[in-house]
A and B are shown apart, each in its own frame.
Chain A
Amino acid sequence: AQKITQTQPGMFVQEKEAVTLDCTYDTSDQSYGLFWYKQPSSGEMIFLIYQGSYDEQNATEGRYSLNFQKARKSANLVISASQLGDSAMYFCAMREGLYGGSQGNLIFGKGTKLSVKP
């Protein structure tokens, strides 16, 4: 069974510094997709970034990048130049199957609460 582990319940980072949020996953599938979502205190879930298991390059979206280490089964989120608005819960998720048409569903980790200090 697939599993997502986020080992950092909470983290602090100084404004303007970079921060890495850890995520490890476990699957026997070769084809899978990895996702990160942000949940601010207002509660909505915001999609940040996606990495497919066959993608050779790390995914990047603005200040977000996904440090994908397939052999280690890790998919860490890196936020560069942290801003106060980055304070939120961050969830890592995985789906077995690369594409939206696959039969797998997104399974979420328990989340990491990031606090950005001014």
Chain B
Amino acid sequence: DADVTQTPRNRITKTGKRIMLECSQTKGHDRMYWYRQDPGLGLRLIYYSFDVKDINKGEISDGYSVSRQAQAKFSLSLESAIPNQTALYFCATSDSGNTGELFFGEGSRLTVL
């Protein structure tokens, strides 16, 4: 099983619907992140959490919210999805020790019609 698991892997929804992307990890890392990838734009940070009681906005948080339910779980919500939120979403974790490289989930491809 993957160390960082995202569900769903693919989702097609309609404008105005509420969507939740879930992420769970078995790496025991304290830090978790949500990134969004668009073609030609690289990965952009949406939200991040350094521990269960710590939630921070990233570069592009408008239209998104998150919940850190436990150390191992970090979910991303789109309260009212819009077409320009169509993208590939990645959850990632990192350890506060060592170099802190990110460990990514397999991605969730979201299409908003």
Question: Residues on A close to B: CB < 8 A?
Answer: 4, 9, 33, 35, 37, 43-45, 47, 50, 52, 91, 93, 95, 98-102, 105-111
Contact partner, A107, options B45, B92, B98, B100, Cβ 8 Å: B45
Q: How far is the CB of A36 from chain B (nearest CB, A)?
A: 10
Identify the 7 closest CB pairs spanning chains A and B, nearest first: A100-B100, A45-B104, A101-B96, A110-B42, A108-B43, A108-B42, A50-B99
CB-CB under 8 A for A110 and B40, given A44-B106, A100-B31: yes
A35 touches B58 (CB 8 A): no
Interface size class of B (residues with CB under 8 A): 20 to 34
A-B interface contact total, Cβ < 8 Å? 65
- Say how far A3's CB is from chain B's closest CB, in angstroms: 11
A33 CA to B42 CA in the complex, in Å? 18
Contacts A44-B106, A100-B95; A50 near B41 (Cβ below 8 A): no
Residue of B nearest to A42 (CB): B106
